[in-house]
C-alpha cells in the first residue's frame, strides 16, 4: 500500500457505517461555535429594505428642522387673539403668505397675520396658527372669534426626530418605512450585515437538471431549486454549482467556491459513491458525521478553509429536514437574523398517536385536519410528495417515545 492510499483510507468512512452519531443538540452547538463573526457593508438606501442593520443609526439633524405650520390657516401672535369671542371679534392684517419651501421673509408685528399652509415655516414673530375655518376673511384682513394658545398647530424643531437621537437600533431588519425615515434624516446608505454567500453543490450521477422530464433510470433534481429557495428565504445569497456527477475530483472543485457556506446535496452517507465526507475529512475537517435524528441522519458538516460545509442527504425529505435543522440556522445567524425558525408555532390536538424512537429526534410531518393534526404515514424519508402534503412538522425530542392520541403538541407550520 502506498503512503498516499493509506492516507486516503484513513478518511474513508465508506461502507463502514456510522460508528456513533452526534446528538442534534451537539450539532447545533457546533454550528453556533463555528460561525465566523458578522461582516458588514455599506448599502445604499434603495437596496436596504429587508437588510439587517449592523450599526444603529443616530440622527444628525432635527426633524422638522424649523418651526412649521401643522394646519392651513394664519400664523399669528397668540397674544393678539387673547379675548376674541363672537361678541368681541379681533381683526388682524394679512401681510403675506408662507408656503412649504417658500418662507415669508418678513416679521409678524402686533396686529398682523400671515397666511400659512401645512408644512410651511412659521414666520418670525408668530407663534401659533389660527385654523382657516375659524376666521372670516375681509379683503386684506382676517377676523377671528376665537383665541389661540401659543404653539397651537406649530410643529417644533426636533419634535419628530431630535438631533442625536437613535432612530434605528441594530440588529434590525429594515422595513420600507425605515427607509423613508432614514432618507428624511439625510442618510443615503447604511451599514448592513453582509448577506452570507451560500453555494449549492448538487451531486448525483443519476440526476437530470431541475425542471427536465425524468427519463429512464434518471431522476430529476428536486433539491437544488428547493435549497436555493430556502437559502434566499433565510437571507442568503444563493449560487448553484449545477449538477456534479459522483466524481471526487469534480466535487472537490465545486466545494472550493469562494463563499461562506457550501451546501452539498447527495452522497453524504457511507455508501460506495458517497465521496463527500471523505473529501471534506481529507481536505478540511469533517466535524460531524451522522446525527441522531430522523430523517436526515446521514448528515455531515465541517470546514474547508474558511467555508462551513454542510453535507445533506440526497433524499429530498432528508434534505429539507437537514436544511431546516442546521443549514438554515447557520445562514440566518451569519446574516444577522435570529436563530429561530421562520415558521409559526401553534399547539394542536393529535388525532392519531405519533410514534417515535427513543434516542433520536424526529421531524414528523403532519397534516391539519378539521383543526387537529394527524401524522403523515410514510415509510421512511423517501416520499417526496409528503413534503408538499404536510402542513407542518412536529419535533419529537430524543428522549420521547412519541405522543398519545389526543395530546396537545406544538406544530411548526410551513405557511
Ligand atoms: P444519496 O444521498 O446521494 O445517497 O441519495 C439518496 C436518494 O436521493 C437517492 O435515491 C437519490 O437518487 C436521491 N437524490 C439524490 N439527489 C437528489 C436530488 N437532487 N433530487 C432528488 N432526489 C435526489
Ligand atoms: Mg447519491
Q: Determine the straight-line distance between the first and last CA of the chain, rounded to whole angstroms.
A: 55
Which of 220, 315, 320, 387 is the pocket-test mutation for ligand 1 (most atoms within 8 Å of CB)?
A: 315
In a domain, 18, yes or no: yes
Reported as a single tens digit per residue, the pLDDT across 151-164 is 999 999 999 999 99
Q: How confident is the model at residue 293 (pLDDT cuts 50, 70, 90)?
A: very high
Q: Which pTM does this prediction carry?
A: 0.89
On whether both 206 and 296 belong to a single domain, the answer is yes
Q: How confident is the model at residue 387 (pLDDT cuts 50, 70, 90)?
A: confident
On whether both 267 and 229 belong to a single domain, the answer is yes
Q: How far is CA 389 from CA 32, 150, 238, 251, 394, in A?
A: 32, 66, 26, 33, 14
The pLDDT value recorded for residue 6 is 55
Domain containing 34: what range? 6-39+195-334
In a domain, 303, yes or no: yes
Average pLDDT over residues 328-350: 96
The pLDDT value recorded for residue 19 is 75
Reported as a single tens digit per residue, the pLDDT across 260-287 is 999 999 999 999 999 999 999 999 999 9
Which CATH number does the domain housing residue 113 bear? Answer: 2.170.190.11
On whether both 257 and 270 belong to a single domain, the answer is yes
Cα separation of 318 and 373, whole Å? Answer: 22
What Rg value do the Cα atoms of the chain yield, rounded?
33
Output the residue whose Cα is nearest ligand 1's atom 8: 315
In a domain, 284, yes or no: yes
On whether both 199 and 295 belong to a single domain, the answer is yes
In a domain, 362, yes or no: yes
Domain termination site, one of 304, 334, 364: 334
Q: How confident is the model at residue 1 (pLDDT cuts 50, 70, 90)?
A: very low
The yes-or-no verdict on residue 18 having pLDDT over 90 is no
In a domain, 339, yes or no: no
Q: Which three cell numbers stand for residue 169?
A: 437600533
The pLDDT value recorded for residue 116 is 98
In a domain, 404, yes or no: yes
The yes-or-no verdict on residue 92 having pLDDT over 60 is yes
Averaged pLDDT score across all residues of the chain: 94
In a domain, 1, yes or no: no
Locus of grid cell 472543485:
253
The pLDDT value recorded for residue 3 is 42
The pLDDT value recorded for residue 382 is 55
Average pLDDT over residues 314-341: 96
The yes-or-no verdict on residue 7 having pLDDT over 70 is no
On whether both 354 and 301 belong to a single domain, the answer is no
Output the CA 333–ligand 1 centroid distance in Å: 28
On whether both 317 and 405 belong to a single domain, the answer is no
Average pLDDT over residues 54-80: 97
Which CATH number does the domain housing residue 48 bear? Answer: 3.90.105.10
Domain termination site, one of 139, 155, 171: 155
On whether both 175 and 214 belong to a single domain, the answer is no
Q: Which three cell numbers stand for residue 105?
A: 421673509
DSSP 64: S
The pLDDT value recorded for residue 388 is 84
The pLDDT value recorded for residue 386 is 78
The yes-or-no verdict on residue 16 having pLDDT over 80 is no
Output the CA 308–ligand 1 centroid distance in Å: 22
In a domain, 75, yes or no: yes
20 or 49, greater pLDDT: 49
The pLDDT value recorded for residue 4 is 47
On whether both 276 and 394 belong to a single domain, the answer is no
Total domain count for the chain?
4
Domain termination site, one of 334, 355, 386: 334
Query: Which residues are close to ligand 2, an ion, with C-beta < 5 A?
Result: 204, 266-267, 314
The pLDDT value recorded for residue 65 is 95
Reported as a single tens digit per residue, the pLDDT across 376-385 is 976 555 567 8
On whether both 10 and 21 belong to a single domain, the answer is yes
Pocket of ligand 1 (CB under 6 A): 202, 204, 206-207, 219, 221-223, 265-269, 271, 313-316
Cα separation of 118 and 94, whole Å? Answer: 17
Amino acid at each position: 500500500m502506498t503512503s498516499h492510499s493509506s492516507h486516503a483510507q484513513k478518511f474513508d468512512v465508506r461502507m463502514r457505517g456510522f460508528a456513533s452519531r452526534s446528538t442534534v443538540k451537539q450539532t447545533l452547538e457546533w454550528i453556533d461555535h463555528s460561525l465566523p463573526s458578522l461582516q458588514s457593508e455599506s448599502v445604499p438606501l434603495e437596496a436596504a429594505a429587508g437588510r439587517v442593520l449592523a450599526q444603529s443609526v443616530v440622527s444628525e439633524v432635527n426633524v422638522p428642522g424649523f418651526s412649521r405650520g401643522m394646519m392651513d390657516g394664519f400664523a399669528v401672535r397668540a397674544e393678539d387673539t387673547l379675548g376674541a369671542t363672537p361678541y368681541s371679534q379681533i381683526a388682524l392684517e394679512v401681510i403675506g403668505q408662507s408656503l412649504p419651501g417658500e418662507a415669508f421673509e418678513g416679521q409678524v408685528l402686533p396686529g398682523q397675520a400671515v397666511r400659512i399652509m401645512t408644512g410651511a415655516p412659521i414666520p418670525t414673530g408668530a407663534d401659533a396658527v389660527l385654523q382657516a375655518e375659524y376666521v372670516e376673511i375681509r379683503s386684506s384682513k382676517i377676523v377671528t372669534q376665537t383665541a389661540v394658545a401659543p404653539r397651537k398647530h406649530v410643529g417644533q424643531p426636533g419634535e419628530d426626530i431630535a438631533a442625536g437621537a437613535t432612530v434605528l437600533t441594530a440588529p434590525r431588519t429594515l422595513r420600507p418605512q425605515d427607509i423613508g425615515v432614514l432618507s428624511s434624516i439625510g442618510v443615503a446608505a447604511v451599514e448592513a450585515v453582509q448577506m452570507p454567500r451560500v453555494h449549492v453543490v448538487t451531486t448525483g450521477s443519476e440526476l437530470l437538471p431541475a425542471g427536465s422530464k425524468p427519463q429512464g433510470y434518471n431522476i430529476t433534481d428536486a433539491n437544488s431549486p428547493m435549497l436555493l429557495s430556502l437559502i434566499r428565504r433565510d437571507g442568503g445569497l444563493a449560487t448553484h454549482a449545477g449538477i456534479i456527477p459522483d466524481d471526487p475530483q469534480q466535487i472537490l472543485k465545486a466545494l472550493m467556491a469562494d463563499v461562506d457556506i457550501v451546501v452539498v446535496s447527495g452522497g453524504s452517507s457511507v455508501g460506495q459513491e458517497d465521496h463527500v465526507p471523505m473529501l471534506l475529512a481529507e481536505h478540511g475537517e469533517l466535524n460531524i458525521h451522522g446525527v441522531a435524528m430522523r430523517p436526515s441522519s446521514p448528515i455531515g458538516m465541517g470546514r474547508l478553509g474558511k467555508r462551513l460545509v454542510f453535507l445533506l442527504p440526497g433524499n429530498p425529505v432528508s434534505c429539507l429536514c437537514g436544511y431546516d435543522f442546521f443549514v438554515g440556522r447557520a445562514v440566518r445567524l451569519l446574516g444577522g437574523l435570529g436563530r429561530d425558525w421562520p415558521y409559526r408555532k401553534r399547539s394542536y390536538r393529535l388525532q392519531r398517536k405519533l410514534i417515535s424512537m427513543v434516542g433520536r429526534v424526529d421531524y414528523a410531518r403532519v397534516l391539519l385536519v378539521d383543526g387537529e393534526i394527524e401524522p403523515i404515514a410514510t415509510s421512511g424519508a423517501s416520499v417526496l410528495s409528503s413534503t408538499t402534503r404536510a402542513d407542518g412538522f412536529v419535533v419529537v425530542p430524543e428522549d420521547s417515545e412519541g405522543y398519545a392520541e389526543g395530546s396537545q403538541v406544538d406544530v411548526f407550520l410551513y405557511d
